[in-house]
């Protein structure tokens, strides 16, 4: 059984190439002066390139044995050398001047895409594939650079050279020379693009099979123990060899098609040059042209085909680059589900009273999570939310943070509807310690001070002490400079949560949310954290989402959710006296401790 893997080696269809190219222009035009200078150097370089065969013609004519006296054409030889030097100089100046334009455009586009990704809603980021997004961003910005290179260093120079040669041939020579030259070039281009399009399918299949074989090998080695458990060495080798056998066939076809392309291109050039030589030689015989003219038309013809030798590679790369740019702009065109209202004001908090008023919400329209949820958290009070898994507890914290907008009802802070204030001002007001704490692959100090980059070292240490992690950090060899690893994997779950608690303490928001913030802690650490949190919560409006009911027994109000509805609410003692769902959950947890 072969594994299924998604590959996107082939450029996708239904792109918007011209529109995307127009979207790149503003990034280039920020340095329009440099663009104009670079294009000027490009034209000068091509003038020098076309000028070399002209000087060569004069040198050959000056050395014609039929002349009465042969003289070394020093001036012409110096002019020929100067033109070669000018060609190199102007080409390098063009590259140097244009470098700022190219890399500035890459930088601006990268920042714009990343900024847009940050602006998209949580729903997009929950559904995205991080590897795919970063790959689209990297490929897109690299593709912009590639297309600029192709345009400025290949396509535009070739067009400029064609134009200069056309003017030269039409002005000084028989129309037949122009017809033969440009007919040959046209046939060459059509043949190259046709064969390249055909070869691309073979190459894509070859790349896909190579990736698939590599994936099989890596997957098998990662699961080495499983392979050995089931004695499936030969099975894995057979799958790998079968895929490589298909890759081998495609690789042979790819090489054969490349040989066909090279032979076809060489044949077209040979036929064109031969026809030109026949015409030029006949002109010399008839006395209408000199030997220098023969050398000139031959040199011009061959010179035209030097950049065209890479036409197939450039065309294929252009197609892939345009596809990559399309994917990047598709990201930029994605709309956020949560946006600020056009007239959104800044949230102003004096007391920090939070109110949910008949809130209904569902992640999908066919599956509602919350049903008419209403509650109030007074200034400086603690509300706890408990209930079975899937009751909608964490959804409430996400709605308060405005990762999603409610379907109906409203959420207010000090009477201000959070859907009518800016998201930035709301999120400055709310701090959260999530159930699944994720840290940056940076130092512990960086992860704590991230909440308040301008905080002093003493403030960071104080927050760490309140979170009961300062002493642990100081015992580490590198102390606060300890790198926590990818997603904080070098720390235990409890250590990560204490870093997250220190971070939110440093932020010092008016409203605090603890989403099962002590779920990964042992009993001793939990008690220390709870006392610290109680101290912090005295000065803040606090929402606690808890699994262990013992951690929220002191809450001012406890909300019991069941299937997205408020089943019960009251203090710990009031709820126990009701002997309802809370009473049942409490007794179940007491039995688990026993």
**Please, are residues 562 and 390 in contact by the beta-carbon 8 Å criterion?**
no
Give 288's contacts (C-beta < 8 A, 6+ positions apart).
none
Domain definitions of the chain by residue range: 15-173+317-337, 174-288, 354-593
- 37: helix, strand or coil: helix
- Are the CB atoms for 512 and 536 separated by under 8 Å? yes
Contact between 73 and 63 under an 8 Å Cβ cutoff? The reply is yes
What is the chain's pLDDT, residue by residue, as a tens digit (594 residues)?
333 334 444 455 566 778 888 888 887 788 888 888 988 898 898 888 888 888 888 888 777 665 545 556 788 888 889 988 998 999 899 889 988 888 888 888 888 888 888 888 777 776 665 555 776 777 778 888 888 878 777 788 878 877 888 787 777 778 888 888 888 888 988 898 888 888 878 877 887 888 788 888 888 888 888 888 888 889 989 999 999 999 899 889 888 988 888 898 888 888 888 888 888 888 888 878 788 888 888 888 777 777 777 777 777 777 777 877 887 888 888 888 888 888 889 999 888 899 999 999 998 877 889 999 999 999 888 899 998 888 888 899 889 989 899 999 999 999 999 999 999 999 899 988 887 777 888 999 999 999 999 999 999 999 998 888 899 999 999 999 999 876 667 787 778 888 888 998 898 888 988 887 666 566 666 676 677 677 666 778 889 988 778 778 888 899 999 889 999 999 999 999 998 888 888 888 777 665
Closest by Cα among 404, 411, 354 to 383: 354
List Cβ neighbours of 162 (8 Å cut-off, separation of 6 or more): 182, 185, 304
Q: DSSP string spanning 64-87?
A: -TTSSS----HHHHHHHHHHHHHH
Residue-level pLDDT at 574:
92
- Residue 352 is predicted with a pLDDT of 87
Q: What are the residue ranges of helices labelled H in 120-174?
A: 122-127, 130-150, 156-172
Find, among 96, 57, 99, 63, the residue nearest to 79 by Cα. Answer: 57
From residue 515, alpha-carbon distances to 111, 146, 511 in Å are 32, 47, 13
pTM of the model: 0.67
156-172 vs 291-308: helix crossing angle, rounded to 10: 160
Superfamily for the 15-173+317-337 domain: ABC transporter type 1, transmembrane domain (1.20.1560.10)
Contacts of 470 (CB under 8 A, 6+ apart): 461, 464
Q: Is the dihedral of CA 303, 308, 309, 314 positive or negative?
A: positive
Q: What is the DSSP letter of 169?
A: H
Alpha helices in 1-129 (DSSP H): 17-29, 32-62, 74-119, 122-127
429 contacts 422 by C-beta, under 8 angstroms:
no
| Cross-sheet strand order for the sheet of 408-413 | 370-377, 354-361, 408-413, 416-417
Closest CA to 553 of 526, 521, 522: 526
Q: Is the Cβ–Cβ distance between 511 and 352 less than 8 Å?
A: yes
Q: How far is CA 74 from CA 58, 62, 63, 88, 178, in A?
A: 12, 11, 12, 21, 32
The burial class, CB within 10 Å (0-12 / 13-18 / 19+), for 169 is buried
Residue with tokens 């072969």: 2
CB contact burial 216-241 (16+ within 10 A = b; e otherwise): bbeebeeeeeebeeeeeeeebeebbe
CATH code of 354-593, in short, is 3.40.50.300
What pLDDT shows up at residue 413? 93
| Rounded CA separation 326/333 (Å) | 10
Q: Where are the alpha helices (DSSP H) in 173-290?
A: 175-222, 224-229, 233-285
pLDDT at res. 570: 92
3-state secondary structure 200-230: HHHHHHHHHHHHHHHHHHHHHHHCHHHHHHC
Q: d(Cα 83, Cα 100) in Å, to the nearest integer?
A: 27
Task: For tokens 């919560």, name the residue.
Answer: 537
Cα separation of the two ends of the chain: 49
Give CA separation, 522 vs 197, 406, 492, 583, 591, in Å. Answer: 63, 36, 11, 24, 18
Which residues are 417's β-sheet partners? 412
Contact 299, 176 (CB under 8 A): no
């Amino acid at each position: 059984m072969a594994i299924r893997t998604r590959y996107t080696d082939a450029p996708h269809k239904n792109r918007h190439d011209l529109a995307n190219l127009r979207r790149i222009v503003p990034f280039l035009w920020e340095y329009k002066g440099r663009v104009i200078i670079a294009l000027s150097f490009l034209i000068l370089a091509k003038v020098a390139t076309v000028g070399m065969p002209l000087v060569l013609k004069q040198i050959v004519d000056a050395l014609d044995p039929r002349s009465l006296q042969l003289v070394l054409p020093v001036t012409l030889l110096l002019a020929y050398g100067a033109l070669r030097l000018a060609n190199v100089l102007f080409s390098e100046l063009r590259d140097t001047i244009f470098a700022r334009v190219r890399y500035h455009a890459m930088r601006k586009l990268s920042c714009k895409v990343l900024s847009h990704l940050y602006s998209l809603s949580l729903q997009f980021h929950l559904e995205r594939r991080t590897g795919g997004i970063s790959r689209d961003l990297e490929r897109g910005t690299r593709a912009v650079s590639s297309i600029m290179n192709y345009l400025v260093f290949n396509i535009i120079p070739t067009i400029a050279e064609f134009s200069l040669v056309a003017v030269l041939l039409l002005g000084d020579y028989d129309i037949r020379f122009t017809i033969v030259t440009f007919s040959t070039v046209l046939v060459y281009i059509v043949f190259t693009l046709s064969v390249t399009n055909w070869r691309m399918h073979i190459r894509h299949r070859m790349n896909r099979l190579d990736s698939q074989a590599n994936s099989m090998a890596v997957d098998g080695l990662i699961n080495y123990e499983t392979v050995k458990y089931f004695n499936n060495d030969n099975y894995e080798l057979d799958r790998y060899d079968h895929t490589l056998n298909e890759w081998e066939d495609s690789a042979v076809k790819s090489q054969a098609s490349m040989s066909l392309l090279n032979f076809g291109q060489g044949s077209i050039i040979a036929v064109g040059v031969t026809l030109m030589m026949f015409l030029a030689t006949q002109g010399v015989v008839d006395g209408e042209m000199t030997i220098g003219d023969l050398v000139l038309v031959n040199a011009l013809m061959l010179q035209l085909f030097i950049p065209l030798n890479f036409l197939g590679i450039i065309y294929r790369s252009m197609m892939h680059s345009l596809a990559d740019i399309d994917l990047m702009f598709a990201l930029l065109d994605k709309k956020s589900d949560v946006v600020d209202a056009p007239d959104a004001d800044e949230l102003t908090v004096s007391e920090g009273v939070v109110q949910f008023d008949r809130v209904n919400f569902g992640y999908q329209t066919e599956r509602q999570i919350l049903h008419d949820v209403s509650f109030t958290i007074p200034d400086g009070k603690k509300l706890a939310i408990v209930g079975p898994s899937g009751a909608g507890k964490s959804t409430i914290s996400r709605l308060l943070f405005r990762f999603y907008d409610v379907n109906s009802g409203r959420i207010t802070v000090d009477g201000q509807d959070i859907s009518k204030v800016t998201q930035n001002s709301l999120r400055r007001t709310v701090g959260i310690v999530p159930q699944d704490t994720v840290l940056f692959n940076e130092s512990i100090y960086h992860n704590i001070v991230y909440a308040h980059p301008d905080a002093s070292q003493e403030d960071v240490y104080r927050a760490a002490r309140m979170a009961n992690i300062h002493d642990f950090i100081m015992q580490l060899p590198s102390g606060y400079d300890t790198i926590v690893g990818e997603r904080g994997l070098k720390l235990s779950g409890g250590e990560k949560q204490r870093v997250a608690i220190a971070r939110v303490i440093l932020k010092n928001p008016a409203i605090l949310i603890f989403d099962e913030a002590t779920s990964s802690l042992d009993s001793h650490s939990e008690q220390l954290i709870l006392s610290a949190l109680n101290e912090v919560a005295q000065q803040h409006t606090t929402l606690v989402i808890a699994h262990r009911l013992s951690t929220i027994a002191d809450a001012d109000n406890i909300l019991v959710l069941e299937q997205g509805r408020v089943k019960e609410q009251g203090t710990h003692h009031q709820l126990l006296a009701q002997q309802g769902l809370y009473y049942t959950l409490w007794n179940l947890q007491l039995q688990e401790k026993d």
